[in-house]
Each structure stands twice: as structure tokens, then as C-alpha cells.
Amino acid sequence: MINITLPDQSIKQFETPPTGMKIAQNISEGFARNCVAIEINNTMLDLNRVIDQDASVRLITTRDKEAIGILRHSTAHVMAQAVQKLYPDAKLTIGPTVEEGFYYDIDMPPVSEDDFPQIEAEMEKIIKAKLPFERREVSKQEALEAYKNEPYKTELISELKDGTISFYQQGDFTDLCRGPHLPHTGMIKAFKLMKVSGAYWRADQTKAQLQRIYGISFFDNKELKQHLHLIVEAKKRDHRKVGPALGLFSFHEEAAGMPFFHAKGMEVWNALLDYWREEHRAAGYVETKTPIMLNRNLWEKSGHWENYRENMYTSEIDQTEYAIKPMNCPGGMMLYAETQHSYKNLPLRSAEIGLVHRHELSGVLSGLFRVRAFHQDDAHIFMTPDQIESEILGVLKLVERIYGTFGLEFHLELSTRPAKSIGSDEQWEKATSGLKGALETYGRKYQTNEGDGAFYGPKIDIHIKDALGRTWQCGTIQLDMSLPERFDLSYIGKDNEKHRPIMIHRVVYGSIERFFGILTEHFAGKFPLWMAPVQAVLLPINDDLASYAGDLKKQFEKNGIRTEMDDRAESLNKKIRDAQINKIPLILTIGEKEKESGNLSIRTLDGKVTYGIPMEDFFSRVRGHIRQRNLELEIF
């Protein structure tokens, strides 16, 4: 008798070993039709897997969050099958799921989006056939024999440990895969191929360039339509178009991956940093600055030379190797080591807006989202062990205040020790426990990503959600017990002995460039008044009023309002339209009536017009609105 325990702790008994599908059908046929996989003792498996001993199970349905990844990986197999049908000489590599769907890297002649309808039509045939995904397990030698004509699969198999290797087959197509997969191809209800790009095998420029075909899939056609609608909206908000159109920033081949910020972009930049500094001063941080280039000895001491060398830009000065910093941490360690600290001086919260450089392949550069040169709003908090929880809580509350100012929601993820790391098991256990304890006290739900921590310590990643529902990892909190030891940092404790401080690395904006890009898309270029590069524009209705408008402009600027005047020989309607295109929050028409009364007529971007506002009342309200950093432009 096999006892199966369900999540509600009810037990179902089977005289013979059941499959996951049989368990689902035992509950109800309707329920079984919506099941995609089964979790057995915390391991995700196919529904046709036989369970030959007592087990706790959870049936994964199309409504569960895990289901979408299984669907999309299955769709990737269907796409690969379709491609091989249409392009018999195509050689397959890997086809993983990613945040935006799935892709498959294929060694084949170049394809374009014009080829997608033909591939999609072939995929439709495979889906309509409702081909079952069947798992097979063979020895490594058998796998090598089966894939002797597939060089990329052979390479992957060769690197696997000896033992059984799993494959999945649907119809006449077989692919190397861990699984699990859908019960059959017919469960793919809605899909679309999205784009194609080039990708080097294993991201190595010396190896073959492959065709990377991206796609998306859902269990429901409505979800696909909604997703495609969001893509259209995202294109309208694309910071790579909005930013240059508003004169905020630009990109040039002479400095690939290194953005140029224009005068208007710097107004937004400085508004972000002014707010950042205000919040950090209030939270007890001091601001520091460290050199952009440091010699190899320091990077060896920090562990970056061994663990991060391939991403660093280097140079030789006076026969000594130097590296442009990819991170601010080592400089922060040196600053701390300048002084002997007492437990009475801790915690020490030290922040830096540091310019860092990291080598990224040209193919992955993407506007402000993926760059080679960027500024991090780094901070290093040095503390005693008993201060860990309170300091992490302090950072979380700071993050909550800052993101809330931009109207951004967020969720938390805890990442634990990766395979490549420094530090002892004891240090990692203590650091991870410290983060978990703080998260439990903070009270928000969080998910755990095993093995995804930094090489020097576990971390809390903070993912924000923008106006389109997309999530972005920006803030991070990393607890580090290794670098203080490598740099021999210490403080004098209550016992008058030297002790090793615990350290937090943390960012809130993360990459300021990336955060800038995210906000550009989040607000679709319509920044809140306090951030807007131009907060008000004065539109004199004729040349005779230009002098008066010029005097007004000086008054606006004295009141801290970033103001432009448009005295072009254009119609008033065109000037208003251009101001709206440029997303200027306050548009003021200057006519004879306004000059005589000294009052103002204001049009906001939502089209609302308010007449006869006394000037001092206007200045008072606008200054207060900017000072409070309100999101909504509800002033009058």
C-alpha cells in the first residue's frame, strides 16, 4: 500500500504505485486536466513519474507560479522541434526559460522575424498533435552515442558526471533535458515568437555565433494578448527613445556602454542624488569618495582578482598592474582601516556614489539598463555582531521610504552561498542566519534563492515593480564577514580587546544609471514635478510680452523652479503642444491680462487649466509641492 500525503495533510492510499496523473485523477478528472507536474518531497517531477513509496506530494496546476516555467520550457522544445523540421541541418545547443519567456540558441543560417510565421505554423502542428513528453534515462556512453552527430549536445554531455542522463521525446524529436515537462504539447494554449539575435556559444567570442530565438507562451490566450499589449506600452516608454527625445542622455559608438548625460538629464540626476543625500544624512550615514583605479595587490587582497578578473578593465602604470574598480568595497575597507575604532563608534555607516566599470559583451549592452560604466550608491556599514539585525532592519526601512517616494512597490529575495565563494562555513552560516532573522522581524514575505549569493556573502535582493508590472532588481543588502578578515579590520570591544567587525554592503538605487532608465519608463518621461528637468515653461503670446516673461523667469528661478521661456515666433497652440511633448509639468501662458493683474494662468500636463492664481500663492504652493516630493501634480 502506497500512502500519498497531500498539502492539506489528507492521505490517499493506492494498492499499486501511482503516477502523479493517477493521483490527480483520483481527486477529480477536471482537476487532473489542469495539472502540469507534481512536487514529490520538494522535488519537481513529471506527472507520469511512478511513486513507489510513501511520499508527500503537491500537484502543480496551471494556476501555480511554478507552472509557467514548465510551460515555457516545454514550448522551447516545441520550437526546437519545429526549427529542426524546417532546417534539417540546424544544430541545437540549449533552450532555457528566462524572465521574459524562453529562448533557444541554435547553430543555423541567419533567420529574421519574417521567418517566424513559418516556424510558428510548424509549432501549431506539433501542439495540435498533443504529443506526450516522454522521459528516458540512459548511461552517459549511450547518450554520447545517440548525439554523436550533435557537437553542442556532445560537449554538454561530456561535461556531465557519469551516471544516468535524461532525455525528453515528443514525437520524433528528442532533446537532452532535466525536465520536468507538460504532460503533452496540447497544453500550450498561446505562444508567440518575439525576436531573434546573435549569441556566441557559451558567451565566448572565439566560438560559433548562434541564432537566439526568443518566445513567450501562456496557458490562456487572454494572457498572451495582455502581454503583447504591455510590450506595445513598453515600447512607447522605452528609455532609449524617450530619454534622447527629451534631451536627457545619449549613447555614442566612441564610448559603447558608457552613457552621456545632457544638461536636462543632469537635472534629473541631481534631483535623485539630492534626495538620496537627504535621506542618508537623516539615517546617520557619512559620505566618502575613493579612487577609481587601484593596484593589483588590493584586488588580490579583496578576492576580486581571483573571482572577478574577467569583468575588470586593467592598465599598467610604472610597471605595476592596476584595475579600474568594478566595485567600491575595497576602497571602503581602506578608509575604515585608517582609524582604530571602538565599539562605542559602531555602527559606522559610510556611503559613496562611486563610479565603477565592468566589462560587458557588446551584445548584451542595453541603454541604461546594461552599461559598462555606472555609478553605484554604495554604502558599507561596519558593526558588532549584536547590531546585525537592527542595521539590516534600518536599511530595509530606508529602502521602503525611498522607493515609496517614487510610488514603487517591492518584494524581497534572500540569496544564499554560491558554489564559488570565500569565507568559512561558520561565517556563512552566521551571516545567513543574521539576514533571515532580520527578514523575519521585518515581517514581509520573501523567497529564497539557494546558491545565488555574492561570492563574499549572502544577500537580500530588493525587486521593484514599475507602472507596467515589470520587476527590476535594484537594491541589495549583502552581509559580509570575509572582507573585514581579509583586510584585517578591527574594533576595540568592551573587553578592551580587538574584535572583527561585521560588514553590510548595500545599495538602494543600485546602478543610478539603470534606476534612471527604470524611472524614465515608469513615468513614461512625465517625471514628478520635483524631478522634472524643466518644471515650468513661460509662453508669451506675442513679442511685446517677451520682456515681461523674461522677468518672470528670473523670479521663478529665484524661487527654485527650473524654468524655460518659449518666445519663438510660433502659434500659442504649437508652443503648448511642444511643451506637452517635452513633458513639462507647468505650462504658463503670458498675456496682457496676466501682465496687468500680476496673476498666473497655469496648464498642467493632464490638460487642466487654472486662471488667476496670485503669484506669491503660486510660488508658495509649488515650493511646498517640490519640497514634499509629491507624485501627483495636484497643486491648484
- Choosing from 115, 378, 461, 566, which is the catalytic residue? 378
- Choosing from 304, 358, 375, 562, which is the catalytic residue? 358
Give me the phi and psi of 332, to 5 degrees please.
-65, -35
Please say if 425 is a catalytic residue. Answer: no
Residue 591, Cβ neighbours under 10 Å: how many? 14
Please say if 329 is a catalytic residue. Answer: yes
Contact (CB, 8 A) for 502 and 484: yes
Q: At what angle do helices 512-522 and 221-237 cross, to 10 degrees?
A: 110
- Choosing from 264, 375, 505, 553, which is the catalytic residue? 505
Please say if 341 is a catalytic residue. Answer: no
Please say if 380 is a catalytic residue. Answer: yes
Residue 231, Cβ neighbours under 10 Å: how many? 14
For residue 256, the Cα-to-chain-centroid distance in whole angstroms is 21
Task: Determine the longest span between alpha carbons in the chain, in angstroms.
Answer: 97
CA–CA distance, 185 with 18 (Å, rounded to integer) = 22
Which amino acid is present at 32? A
C-alpha pair distances (Å), 375 with each of 370, 511, 528, 573: 12, 6, 23, 41
CA–CA distance, 582 with 244 (Å, rounded to integer) = 11
Q: Compute the chain's Rg from CA coordinates.
A: 29
Residue 392, Cβ neighbours under 10 Å: how many? 24
For residue 225, the Cα-to-chain-centroid distance in whole angstroms is 24
- Choosing from 170, 376, 427, 535, which is the catalytic residue? 376
Cross-strand bridge partners of residue 253: none
Please say if 376 is a catalytic residue. Answer: yes
CA–CA distance, 208 with 205 (Å, rounded to integer) = 8
Please say if 628 is a catalytic residue. Answer: no
Q: Count of alpha carbons within 13 Å of 53, Cβ hemisphere only?
A: 2
Cell triple for 79 = 520550437
- Choosing from 239, 375, 380, 522, which is the catalytic residue? 380
Strands (E), 385-458: 409-415, 446-449
CA–CA distance, 207 with 151 (Å, rounded to integer) = 13
Q: Count of alpha carbons within 13 Å of 58, Cβ hemisphere only?
A: 14
- Choosing from 35, 49, 280, 329, which is the catalytic residue? 329
Please say if 430 is a catalytic residue. Answer: no
- Choosing from 22, 357, 459, 506, which is the catalytic residue? 459
* Active site (catalytic) residues: 329, 358, 376, 378, 380, 459, 505
